[in-house]
């Protein structure tokens, strides 16, 4: 999302990264019939990244940026999300921001790195931390301000330690923060895309912080979504029976702290899971590792993990699966994994 300086007075913009074009590798086990799922993602133009300096901004507990009675586009990852907000009660939002909630003033410069899309595990690691990586020296010397909900996320607090941010403040649920000056980096890449050098830098910084460099360990990990409310494997017992043949261990991310997940996956060479937050942990595999994603057979939209693997120099494998209820949307559908095809794919992944 680009921003025009003409939209604001009292704005300066500093260039952080130039526009680039990135190319991606096709899946290692691509079936010709599935090429149309991936072909549109093989080349992407990444817009330039800038550091914006905006004065006189109010920020709500939910992380909405308001200036002069207008919601700033930087509150959202995509324009359509801003349009959805407009369809809701904008007057109510502004009333809470200017009349109902208490106002806390911050005269110092603050750094703002999130948007309304950032609360998920993937988006925090893939969208937010690259911004922090780019401006980490600046952030260490200022207040890093975050929305109210982020205070409850272990992965937020734990990952921030890796960047040595000294002054993190969370907006309270019943307040609006009035900021004299907000320093705001624009996206490092559109959500679901990456600058390879930056995301690898994020990986390096997190691994160095956790201290998980254990040579010679090549664990085989399956991250189960059995406890998730949606997008589960309907026949997981069949899947786990095949996984046992290849000595994969099953884990539940819900049982592990963020640092535990970093440490465990840094010891892994192979990662298997279906589309969901658990696959984000491929970030902690070392270059040359392999990932197998179990995905809806019609889904050509949610390619973030295919793109993620390529950016991290990982071998990407996939298996196209039928939904448990015919015609169900890829965002919600439980999947049925063909055990025979799965066993053949694991043979390709592991070379056995």
Strands of the chain, DSSP E:
11-17, 20-23, 43-46, 49-59, 65-67, 70-71, 102-111, 143-146, 168-170, 175-185, 219-223, 249-251, 268-274, 290-296, 315-323, 335-336
Alpha carbon distance 231, 214 (integer Å) = 33
pLDDT recorded at residue 3: 41
Burial class (CB in 10 A: 0-12, 13-18, 19+), 200: middle
66-75, 131-140, 176-185, 327-336: lowest mean pLDDT where?
66-75
What pLDDT, in 10s, does the model give residues 85-97? 655 555 555 555 5
Give the single-character DSSP code of 48: P
Cβ atoms of 10 and 56 closer than 8 Å:
yes
Angle (CA) 25-28-33 rounded to 5° is 95
pLDDT recorded at residue 81: 65
For the chain, give every domain's residue range. 5-16+47-190, 211-350
Residue 340 pLDDT > 70, yes or no?
yes
3-class secondary-structure state, position 169: strand
Residue 242 pLDDT > 80, yes or no?
yes
Mean pLDDT of 9-29: 90
pLDDT recorded at residue 129: 98
Band the pLDDT of 54: cuts 50, 70, 90: very high
The percentage of residues in the chain with a pLDDT greater than 90, rounded to a whole number, is 81
Q: Which residue has the tokens 């949307």?
A: 329
Residue 99 pLDDT > 90, yes or no?
no
Residue 108 pLDDT > 80, yes or no?
yes
pTM: 0.92
pLDDT recorded at residue 2: 40
Pick the CATH number of 211-350 from 3.40.630.30, 3.40.50.11540, 3.40.50.360, 3.40.50.720: 3.40.50.360
Cβ atoms of 146 and 169 closer than 8 Å:
yes
What pLDDT, in 10s, does the model give residues 142-171? 999 999 999 999 999 999 999 999 899 999
Alpha carbon distance 115, 65 (integer Å) = 9
Q: Which residue has the tokens 């649920």?
A: 173
Residue 10 falls in which region: left (phi positive, over 0), alpha (psi -120 to 50) or beta: left
DSSP string across 133-160: HHTHHHHHTSEEEE-GGGGG-HHHHHHH
In the predicted model, what is the mean pLDDT of the chain? 91
How many Å separate Cα 174 from the centre of its chain?
Answer: 27
Mean pLDDT of 43-59: 95
State the distance between the two ends of the chain, measured CA to CA, in whole angstroms.
Answer: 44
pLDDT recorded at residue 69: 80
Cβ atoms of 21 and 46 closer than 8 Å:
yes
DSSP string across 91-139: HHHHHIIIIISEEEEEEEEEE----TTTTSHHHIIIIIHHHHHHTHHHH
How many other CB atoms sit within 10 Å of the CB of residue 25?
Answer: 16
Cβ atoms of 350 and 246 closer than 8 Å:
yes
Give percent helix, percent strand, percent coil of the chain, each to the nearest 5.
40, 25, 35
Residue 83 pLDDT > 80, yes or no?
no
Cβ atoms of 184 and 135 closer than 8 Å:
no
What pLDDT, in 10s, does the model give residues 260-295? 999 999 999 999 999 999 999 999 998 999 999 999
What pLDDT, in 10s, does the model give residues 295-331? 999 999 999 999 999 999 999 999 999 999 998 999 8
Alpha carbon distance 81, 314 (integer Å) = 31
Residue 1 pLDDT > 50, yes or no?
no
Band the pLDDT of 77: cuts 50, 70, 90: confident
């Amino acid at each position: 999302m680009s921003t025009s300086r003409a939209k604001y007075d009292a704005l300066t913009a500093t260039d952080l990264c130039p526009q680039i074009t990135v190319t991606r590798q096709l899946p290692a086990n691509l079936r010709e019939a599935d090429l149309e799922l991936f072909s549109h993602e093989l080349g992407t133009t990444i817009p330039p990244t800038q550091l914006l300096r905006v004065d006189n901004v109010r920020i709500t507990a939910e992380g909405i940026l308001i200036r002069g009675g207008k919601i700033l586009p930087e509150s959202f990852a995509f324009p359509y999300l801003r349009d959805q907000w407009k369809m809701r009660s904008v007057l109510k939002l502004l009333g809470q921001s200017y009349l109902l909630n208490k106002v806390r003033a911050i005269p110092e410069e603050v750094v703002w790195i999130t948007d309304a899309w950032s609360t998920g595990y993937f988006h925090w690691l893939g969208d937010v931390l690259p911004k922090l990586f780019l401006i980490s020296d600046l952030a260490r010397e200022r207040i890093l301000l975050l929305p109210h909900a982020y205070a409850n996320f272990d992965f937020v607090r734990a990952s921030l330690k890796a960047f040595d941010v000294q002054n993190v403040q969370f907006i309270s649920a019943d307040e609006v923060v009035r900021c004299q000056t907000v320093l705001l980096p624009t996206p490092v890449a559109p959500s679901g895309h990456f600058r390879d050098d930056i995301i690898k830098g994020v990986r390096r910084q997190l691994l160095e912080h956790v201290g998980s460099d254990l040579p010679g360990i090549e664990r085989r990990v399956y991250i189960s979504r059995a406890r998730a409310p949606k997008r589960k494997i309907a026949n997981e017992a069949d899947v786990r029976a095949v996984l046992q043949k290849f000595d994969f261990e099953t884990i539940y991310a819900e049982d592990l702290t963020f640092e535990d997940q970093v440490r465990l996956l840094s010891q892994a060479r192979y990662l298997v899971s279906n589309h969901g937050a658990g696959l984000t942990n491929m970030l902690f595999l070392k270059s040359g590792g392999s990932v197998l994603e179990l995905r809806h057979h019609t889904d050509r939209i949610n390619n973030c993990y295919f793109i993620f693997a390529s950016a991290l120099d990982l071998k990407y494998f996939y298996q196209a699966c039928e939904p448990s209820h015919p015609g169900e949307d890829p965002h919600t559908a439980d999947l049925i994994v063909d055990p025979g095809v799965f066993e053949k794919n694991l043979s390709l992944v592991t070379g056995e």
